[in-house]
């Protein structure tokens, strides 16, 4: 049972555009298995379809061709069974609800009882260290805190898979690193399978058990890199030789298949410790 | 704790009107009213009818004789503020036990009750229509033009028909007020019920939320700022509409009839009509403020709520 992948993608294509307009192939021939409890990052230049791939897994859009099997059933069924927790780049909190009521939202929709809602919301907010902010409104929180509320909300109903679409893309580098450590801590405690879209190389390496490198136009998987850094990982992990080697490996994989120079530039901007890493390796 | 919260609150996104803001707006309003009175009496001082003691009859001693005679500033067109004030205490009709203030209060209450019921019905009708329209493009395209066309018929023309059909009673005024309030709510809510963050809709989709859950937990709460904007328009429009409707409708108890009566006896008592105008304004403002208070209560905690 445990050997069965949580997510199995076979031959997934995604073509945008209607019959009368020029078509864009966003994804081509995607095959990917994600095992239970894995932390998988999708990384690639913008326009490589990594967000589209995430949305296909979550049944927020459907593939043009190919199969998506989640927990042994079609993605749509998995969504109806509420197997997914979503975290977007923006927190997307409901500003008319308090922090606590935001976390309760999915539980309300799923018809959980009042006592359980109360308890789960409290637990989840304590997990993301916002236990003192139950009664606050979203506008009273900083961007990082809002994103933590979004994570608590996604975890509230214990989804089988957590789908995160550049959740920390809008945060500054220091906050992002702190959030990365926090996500790892939560992942280690909950054992949830995570699919994580990012275009930060250090973030992908630090978090993942596997990094899936994608190329643009059409979006393809060019390389899958196993991240064998020991766990639990901490800030010290970011200073180990193996970490730098892996960062370099991901970067080179991206550059080899990266497509245009523009995309390369964007990626290097997203990884400020590039010079450090290269210095250490070279 | 309190200071920690203050520190993390982003600048410029303070919750709406704090005490200082509210005090400033009260001061501004008072200054405006005083300024209006000064201009009013100033014009009469320069070009009005000769000034006599408050409430005095023509023929009593002249206290001040203005240098000019402006036609728009005579005691008939622009009565003295204090005489308008005194008019509230006079019998509303020669020999009547009831004074103007009591009479106006009774009429205002009648009009308010009718327009408040009409307002509630109209808001509900508007909400139902908008809910139907945002769920069906087909119905929206088919019926919104008629909703708009309905508002191009002047209420003055429609009111007698309504009274003819339903009788000269509160019921007819309610229908008139409903007719005038449903429109702003429909139009605003067609927009408001679509004003949610599209990513929030994806979130709801990822929870496999039912259309009902999406409506009650996302669409409707997200639309409330639009609803209150429409309700504030409707509150005043409903009262004006009820008053206008009462006149040609021949409904006796409301402010509309009072205004027509005082209009007919304007020559003998212009202050009474002005008193009725003030009563109407107070009624409209009160109703508006009730809606505003509800808005503040319901939308508290949200960022960027419009200050009006």
How many angstroms away from the CA of A280 is the closest CA of chain B?
38
Which among B206, B181, B295 has a CA at the least distance from the CA of A165? B206
Of residues B173 and B55, more confidently modeled: B173
3-state helix, strand, coil in chain B (%, to 5): 70, 0, 30
Chain B partners within 8 Å of A95 (Cβ): 301-303
Distances (CA, A) of A131 to A135, A188, A189, A232: 10, 20, 17, 24
Contact A62, A254 (CB under 8 A): no
Q: Fill in the DSSP letter of residue A282.
A: -
Which among B186, B170, B181 has a CA at the least distance from the CA of B112? B170
Of residues B114 and A267, more confidently modeled: B114
ipTM above 0.85, yes or no: no
Query: Residue B7 pLDDT > 80, yes or no?
Result: no
Q: How many CB pairs under 8 A join A and B?
A: 73
Which among B256, B94, B8 has a CA at the least distance from the CA of A133? B8
Chain A partners within 8 Å of B304 (Cβ): 139
Residue A31's pLDDT band (boundaries 50, 70, 90)?
very high
Which among A145, A259, A274, A266 has a CA at the least distance from the CA of A198? A266
Measured from the Cβ of residue A204, the count of other Cβ atoms closer than 10 Å reads: 28
Tell me the pLDDT tens digit for each residue of A58-83. 999 999 999 999 988 999 999 998 88
A157-162: average pLDDT: 88
What is the side-by-side strand order in the sheet with A220-226?
A84-87, A161-165, A193-198, A39-43, A210-215, A220-226
* DSSP state letters, B188-257: HHHHHTT-S-HHHHHHHHHTT--HHHHIIIIIHHHHHHHHHHHHHHHHHHHHHHHHHHHHHHT-SSSHHH
Are B207 and A92 inside 8 Å of each other by CB? no
Are B197 and A92 inside 8 Å of each other by CB? yes
Distances (CA, A) of A77 to A80, A106, A163, B41, B250: 5, 17, 16, 77, 64
Query: Residue A143 pLDDT > 80, yes or no?
Result: yes
Which of left, alpha, beta for B53 (phi over 0: left; psi -120 to 50: alpha)?
Answer: beta
Q: Fill in the DSSP letter of residue B265.
A: T
Measured from the Cβ of residue B28, the count of other Cβ atoms closer than 10 Å reads: 10
Half-sphere exposure of B213 (CA within 13 A, CB side): 17
Minimum Cα–Cα distance from B215: chain A residue: A109
A96-101: average pLDDT: 94
Residue A158's pLDDT band (boundaries 50, 70, 90)?
confident
A57-61, B61-65, B304-308: which has the minimum mean pLDDT?
B304-308
Which among B90, B88, B83 has a CA at the least distance from the CA of B48? B83
Tell me the pLDDT tens digit for each residue of B216-269. 999 999 999 999 999 999 998 889 888 887 877 778 888 988 898 898 888 888
Distances (CA, A) of A95 to A53, A99, B292, B293: 29, 9, 20, 20
Q: How far apart are CA A262 and CA A260, in angstroms?
A: 5
Chain A partners within 8 Å of B208 (Cβ): 79-82, 109
């Amino acid at each position: 049972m445990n050997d069965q992948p949580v997510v199995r993608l076979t031959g997934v294509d995604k073509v945008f555009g209607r019959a009368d307009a020029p078509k864009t192939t966003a994804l081509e021939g995607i095959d990917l298995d994600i095992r239970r409890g894995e932390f998988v990052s999708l990384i690639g230049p913008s326009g490589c379809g990594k967000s589209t791939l995430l949305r296909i897994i979550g049944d927020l859009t459907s593939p043009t061709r190919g199969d998506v099997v989640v927990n042994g059933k079609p993605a749509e069924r998995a969504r109806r069974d509420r197997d997914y927790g979503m975290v977007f780049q923006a927190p997307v909190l409901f500003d008319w609800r308090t922090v606590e009521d935001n976390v309760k939202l999915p539980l309300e929709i799923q018809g959980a009882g009042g006592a359980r809602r109360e308890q789960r919301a409290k637990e989840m907010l304590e997990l993301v260290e916002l236990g003192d902010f139950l009664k606050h409104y979203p506008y009273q929180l900083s961007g990082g805190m809002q994103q933590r509320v979004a994570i608590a909300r996604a975890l509230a109903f214990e989804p089988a898979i957590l789908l995160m679409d550049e959740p920390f893309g809008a945060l500054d580098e220091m906050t992002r690193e702190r959030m990365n450590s926090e996500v790892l801590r939560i992942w280690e405690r909950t054992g949830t399978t995570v699919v994580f879209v990012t275009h930060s190389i250090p973030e992908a390496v630090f978090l993942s058990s596997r990094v899936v490198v994608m190329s643009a136009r059409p979006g393809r998987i060019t390389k899958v890199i196993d991240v064998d850094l020991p766990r639990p990982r901490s800030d010290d992990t970011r200073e180990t030789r193996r970490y730098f080697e892996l960062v370099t490996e991901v970067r080179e994989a991206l550059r080899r298949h990266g497509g245009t120079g523009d995309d390369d530039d964007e990626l290097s901007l997203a990884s400020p410790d590039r010079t450090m890493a290269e210095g250490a390796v070279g | 704790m309190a200071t920690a919260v203050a520190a993390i609150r982003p600048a410029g996104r303070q919750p709406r009107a704090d005490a200082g803001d509210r005090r400033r707006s009260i001061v501004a309003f008072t200054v405006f009213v005083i300024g209006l009175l000064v201009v009013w009496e100033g014009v009469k001082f320069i070009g009005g009818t000769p000034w006599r003691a408050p409430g005095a009859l023509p023929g009593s001693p002249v206290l001040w004789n203005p240098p000019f005679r402006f036609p728009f500033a005579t005691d008939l067109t622009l009565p003295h503020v204090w005489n308008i004030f005194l008019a509230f205490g006079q019998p509303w009709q020669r020999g009547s036990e009831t004074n103007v203030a009591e009479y106006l209060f009774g009429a205002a209450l009648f009009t308010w009750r009718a327009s408040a019921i009409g307002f509630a019905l109209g808001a509900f009708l508007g909400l139902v229509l908008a809910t139907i329209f945002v769920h069906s493009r087909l119905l929206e395209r088919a019926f919104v033009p008629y909703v708009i066309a309905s508002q191009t018929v002047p209420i003055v023309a429609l009111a007698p028909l309504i009274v003819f059909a339903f009788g000269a009673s509160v019921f007819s005024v309610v229908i008139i007020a409903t007719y005038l309030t449903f429109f702003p709510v429909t139009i605003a809510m067609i927009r408001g019920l679509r004003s949610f963050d599209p990513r929030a809709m994806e979130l709801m989709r990822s929870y496999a939320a039912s259309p009902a859950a999406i409506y009650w937990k996302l669409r409707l709460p997200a639309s409330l700022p639009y609803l209150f904007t429409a309700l504030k328009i409707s509150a005043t429009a409903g009262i004006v509409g009820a008053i206008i409707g009462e006149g040609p409708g021949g409904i006796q108890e409301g402010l509309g009839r009072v205004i027509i009566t005082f209009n007919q006896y304007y020559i003998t008592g212009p202050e009474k009509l002005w008193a009725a105008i003030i009563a109407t304004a107070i009624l409209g403002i009160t109703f508006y403020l009730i809606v505003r208070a509800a808005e503040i209560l319901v939308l508290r905690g949200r960022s960027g709520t419009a200050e009006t």
